[in-house]
Amino acid sequence: MLAAVSSGFVLLGLAVSSAVGAAQQPFSAGANTFASYDAGLFSPMEDLSLLSTSEFTTLNHPFFPSYNVRIKKSDFCDGTVGAFTGYIDIEARHLFFYFFESRSSPNKDDVIFWTNGGPGCSSSIGLFMELGPCRVNDVHNVTFNPYSWNDNANIFFIDQPVGVGFSYADHGETVGTTEEGAKDIAAFVAIFFEHFSSFKGRAFHMSGESYGGRYIPVFASAIYDQNAKLAAAGLTPINLASAMIGNGCTDWKTMIPSYYNMQCQPKSVAPVVDVGTCVLTKQALARCEKWLTEACYDTTDAINCQAASAFCASVVQSPFHSYNPYDLTKPCTSEELSDSLCYPVTKKIGSFLDRSDIRKAIGVDPSLTANFSSCNNDVNRQFHLNLDQIFPTQLYIGALLERGVRVLIYVGANDWICNWVGNEKMTLELEWTGQKEFVAKPLRDWKIGDRAVGVTRNAGPLTFATIAGAGHMAPYDKGEESLELVKRWLANEEL
């Protein structure tokens, strides 16, 4: 989800707004300084089964002196597996997380990290609506999800950055860039794996949705770069196996013109915008792309970039109305979009998480008394004031591929806001040593049995795939197909 401050769209992972602020700098491992430590002072927790259901156990590590992890058993949602919740404490900032063990072989299966987007939207959407072990249907109605991704993997869901979901700050501290938030995620992952040694060496997969197209490449790169320092200190590096990005917005330069393709050409459905408007949009598109490139990428002129973004929104995005921006096949009024993101279940999830017994069971800090909100517009606004979305995040993807980290870009074919046309173009234009081989491969069907469920292209560590009939939240719309895609990916099987 994502709040678009200027356009009026609240998006499930990406904000379409005109933003001003400082240009972002890439993540640097050198900026993340670790203290030296005496290994003899460290006493790992070792076993998740030792955790209490009534109170938090605090984990720390002298290698990360500014970080603590509070964690407890939280037997809710899926009674068939171990469930845990807690906080990542970074001095005065506190990030809430859920962790579920695998339904198959928790002591052997891979580990998945999941974050929703926004920026500023809670991963409770991914947990309780999409790929988690249970689905909230109403405030007192929670059902088992047979298509949960913990079918054969252990999985985290994290509310980040601070201010999102049940995450909070003591004194109004904020995080306003993806690179800044990446340091916290990398430290948390290292602390968790050091304490619960049975996970050491397991394949670890970073995954996310929508604005996760910005988050995940940066977070994965932070973990990769941190590994060198862990190894130098005699600690076990994280076995970063892959990054999985679902319906992500990674590169604005390829995504913005794709809105014209999706609404004016039969890319997934018949054109949904009238002929006259499409003609005007096509005429203005070249100016939009030129201005955006000059103001936001060739230079970092915040005011001019704001103006370019506003112009592009007016000519490319504004004509799109009356439809669900997350699923072109469904109508949605502006009032419904503002109220529930076009999905009434999001409000039911909020009501479920407002129950005092649920908050107590999962250990929500008692200081959080306000009603639960799926997305925080203040967080969204801060990221966009810093022009966070403008950074060419595809550069991180290319760097990960060069280092042997596999990358999956999957897209529900009916999504508009982070659509398959823009994502495919991003992958085709991505500069890495396997680019020519990837571009030369034609799209082909991928199937479950004899049933085609999307198209795919693959070369080496990079795979692009669509999921037919799915929208922005593909696991919600097509649970079976999404789970099959993930299972094959974890098993390193070709689609």
Distance, CA of 395 to CA of 315 (rounded, Å): 28
Other CB atoms within 10 A of residue 424 CB: 19
Catalytic residue among 148, 472, 477, 482: 472
State the alpha helices, DSSP H only, in 150-250: 178-195, 212-232
Identify the three-state secondary structure at position 459.
strand
Q: Is 251 marked active-site?
A: no
Mark 467-493 as b/e (b = at least 16 C-beta within 10 Å): bbbbbbbbbbbbbebbbbbbebbbeee
Q: Distances in Å between the alpha carbon of 273 and those of 167, 261, 321?
A: 40, 11, 9
**Closest to 86 in 3D by CA, of 73, 68, 74, 70:** 70
Distance, CA of 343 to CA of 11 (rounded, Å): 11
Q: Is 157 left (phi over 0), alpha (psi -120 to 50) or beta?
A: beta
What tokens appear for 59 in the block? 């984990």
Distance, CA of 184 to CA of 158 (rounded, Å): 11
Amino acid type, 259 = Y
Q: Is 210 marked active-site?
A: yes
Q: In terms of C-beta distances under 8 Å and separation of at least 24 residues, what long-range contacts does 304-313 make, across chains too?
A: 305/19, 305/20, 305/387, 305/390, 306/18, 306/19, 306/20, 307/18, 309/6, 309/17, 309/18, 309/19, 310/6, 310/18, 311/284, 311/287, 312/256, 312/288, 313/6, 313/7, 313/16, 313/17, 313/18
What tokens appear for 225 in the block? 């770069």
Say if CB 407 and CB 462 are below 8 A apart: yes
Q: Is 221 marked active-site?
A: no
Other CB atoms within 10 A of residue 140 CB: 10
Catalytic residue among 17, 210, 242, 374: 210
Say if CB 12 and CB 327 are below 8 A apart: no
Amino acid type, 361 = A
Distance, CA of 104 to CA of 61 (rounded, Å): 30
Say if CB 58 and CB 43 are below 8 A apart: no
Residues known to be catalytic: 210, 415, 472
